[in-house]
A and B are shown apart, each in its own frame.
Chain A
Amino acid sequence: MKTILSLQNIVINLGGKPIIDDLSIDFCEGRIHALVGPNGAGKSTTASIIMGLGGYRDVAGDILFDGVSLQGMSVDERARMGITLAWQEPARYEGLLVRDFIGQPAKDKSEARTREVLDMVNLNPNAYIDRCVDRTLSGGERKRIELASILAMEPRFVLMDEPDSGIDVEALECIFDALHFFKESNATVVMITHSPVVLRKAEHAYLLCSGKLSREGSPEEVDAFFTEECASCEEPSAEKVVQETR
């Protein structure tokens, strides 16, 4: 299978200690991946590095997307190449309407398309298109609206940070349904998760530990190792390293 995104020897140091330690991963195109690991293993940092968030626009090592280095590229430049991120806790926007939140960045900016993607995440377009993406929406509703906005941008590479966090069963089903849409369009998905339920939806899994790739394989193999071996491990997490250096 073709590699769509390649992390090559990525190193991130904080206070002289590595939080991502010579990490190399090849993500195959069109596949659903899971990135698992204990708290502070570097999963969300890896997503930030790929998306170029915060201080992670330039990092040691390289990131190739379809053969092109992402080093130095801004978040929006990466997004226009087809990379995007669904956040663990989606942002709230006072006054910003769902139609604008979804429609403005969408490939097809028509209202019909906005309605279609709302339908795809099981939200009634009539009830939601003129609502604000603010605190009046539940966490599950905001996750679904975020997912709708991602579907509308028709991405090639989707990072999903803790897709099951803070949502109900119905919303989680919508997220799993969306995986089919991504699969149909040959998009690549990377789900960052602790959850065995989410992990089992993947086709391939990676286990991170202290910023290093510890293991990869089928979701079942990685889940078994994670459950049996990681729980009793004394390895200091990256999170602890960050706390110690502050």
Chain B
Amino acid sequence: MKNNDLLEKLYRSINRKPHALRDRPDIARVEIHHDRVLGVHLVPGLEITAEEKKDTINAKIRVVQGTIIENPIQVCFGMIPENGLQRIVLEIDIEDDVHAAIVAHCTFPNALNIRHEMDAIIRVGKNAHYAYFERHVHGDKGGVTIVPNSKVFVDEGGKYQTDFELIKGRVGKIYLDVDAELQARATAAINARLSASGDDIVEITEKIRLVGEDSVGALTSYLAVRDTAQACINNEMIATAAGARGHVDCKEIIQDNGIARAVPIVSVEHHKAHVTHEAAIGSVDNKQLETLMSRGLDEDTAVDLIIQGMLGGAPEISKAGEDFLTL
């Protein structure tokens, strides 16, 4: 299939206009299908190199020291066919004093047997701000296995935020693994929102290590688990420095015969550090449900609205994503 056709199909699958970004030279973008780079557009201070191999893209993204990228970098990647493997090996260097964000759309609309692997190393420099929003769009057959692994290093005073969202279509199987290390005064917020149904499997393993003084971390995972789907969230916060503060938050709503498990681990190894956690697993709150039903919504619609609210809370970066979506 020609590049233009693939590009068209990728964008159509996420319900977007394929060429909307072509008229916006102020917005950087990268488009990847399977093991081909379909398009790259850079802005000053942003460098991207990519190497194509069978089933694999090796990419490096560098944002040069002091650069402030006004508009989020737009990334669209995925696969249109039903079967295949896509492996992305990524190095991201956000140098000192940079402000940058990436909005990524990952789409596998026809997947019957697709495996998507992502191995990323992300370095956020001193006093740099970096945010990454990733929205997955899957088909309704559940034939996709997603295996993203990220190692994140946030230097002194750096800020890192990531939001992973998979609330449309079937999850399939996902094994999400993030490990972040924070130096002094660095912050990290790692958020995941997923809706699992059918026989989907979700396994989330997230770890923040607060090794620098006054570093701050937050792990937030919200899931809806329906039908016979299974989910397990392993969140770990380790504080080893004075003034380090962390919070782990896990909420899972179960419907039907879903199974959910949460394993929050908090470890404090300095008497001046402080870490908290909360986990709630259960069905929809009865009062919330009865309130909406007392306005006339039937039970299924009310449950959907409650879950949609829980999963759809809009973090800052997703607002930037929404701006792109309207182009």
**Footprint of B on A, CB under 8 Å?**
51, 53-54, 74-76, 78-80, 83-85, 87, 90-97, 100, 104-105, 132, 146, 149-150, 153
Residues 308-322 of B at the A interface (beta carbon under 8 Å): 308-314
B288 and A93 contacting across the interface, CB-CB below 8 Å? yes
A153 and B287 contacting across the interface, CB-CB below 8 Å? no
What A residues does B306 contact at CB under 8 A? 93, 96
Chain B: minimal CB distance from A144 (Å): 15
Tell me, in angstroms, the Cα distance from A51 to B312 when the chains sit together.
30
Chain B: minimal CB distance from A146 (Å): 8
- Whether A105 touches B311, Cβ cut-off 8 Å, given contacts A87-B287, A91-B287, A93-B288, is no
B305 proximal to A (CB < 8 A): yes
B290 and A75 contacting across the interface, CB-CB below 8 Å? yes
B120 proximal to A (CB < 8 A): no
Chain B: minimal CB distance from A16 (Å): 26
What B residues does A95 contact at CB under 8 A? 308-314
- Whether A75 touches B313, Cβ cut-off 8 Å, given contacts A91-B285, A96-B306, A100-B305, is no
A75 and B305 contacting across the interface, CB-CB below 8 Å? no
Q: Which of B286, B293, B301 contacts A74 (CB 8 A)?
A: B293
State how many residues of chain B have any CB contact under 8 Å with chain A. 26
- Whether A75 touches B293, Cβ cut-off 8 Å, given contacts A91-B285, A91-B288, A93-B288, is yes
A-B contacts at CB below 8 angstroms, number: 77
Tell me, in angstroms, the Cα distance from A149 to B296 when the chains sit together.
11
What A residues does B327 contact at CB under 8 A? none
Tell me, in angstroms, the Cα distance from A94 to B287 when the chains sit together.
13
Q: Which of A75, A78, A90, A153 has the most CB of B within 10 A?
A: A75
Q: What are 5 residue pairs bridging A and B, where the CB atoms are less than 8 Å apart in the complex? A: A54-B286, A93-B288, A94-B313, A95-B309, A95-B311
B297 proximal to A (CB < 8 A): yes
**Footprint of A on B, CB under 8 Å?**
251, 285-288, 290-299, 301-302, 305-306, 308-314
B299 and A76 contacting across the interface, CB-CB below 8 Å? yes
Kindly report which residue of chain B lies nearest to residue A146, judged by CB atoms. Answer: B291
Q: Which of B251, B288, B311 has the most CB of A within 10 A?
A: B288
Tell me, in angstroms, the Cα distance from A105 to B292 when the chains sit together.
8
What A residues does B292 contact at CB under 8 A? 104-105
Tell me, in angstroms, the Cα distance from A95 to B167 when the chains sit together.
14
What B residues does A149 contact at CB under 8 A? 295
A96 and B309 contacting across the interface, CB-CB below 8 Å? yes
B293 and A132 contacting across the interface, CB-CB below 8 Å? no
Tell me, in angstroms, the Cα distance from A74 to B295 when the chains sit together.
12
B293 and A87 contacting across the interface, CB-CB below 8 Å? no
Q: Which of A53, A76, A87, A146 contacts B296 (CB 8 A)?
A: A76
What A residues does B301 contact at CB under 8 A? 104
A84 and B294 contacting across the interface, CB-CB below 8 Å? yes
- Whether A91 touches B291, Cβ cut-off 8 Å, given contacts A76-B299, A104-B297, A105-B296, is yes
A90 and B294 contacting across the interface, CB-CB below 8 Å? no
Kindly report which residue of chain B lies nearest to residue A81, judged by CB atoms. Answer: B296
What B residues does A150 contact at CB under 8 A? 295
B310 and A53 contacting across the interface, CB-CB below 8 Å? no
What B residues does A105 contact at CB under 8 A? 292, 295-297
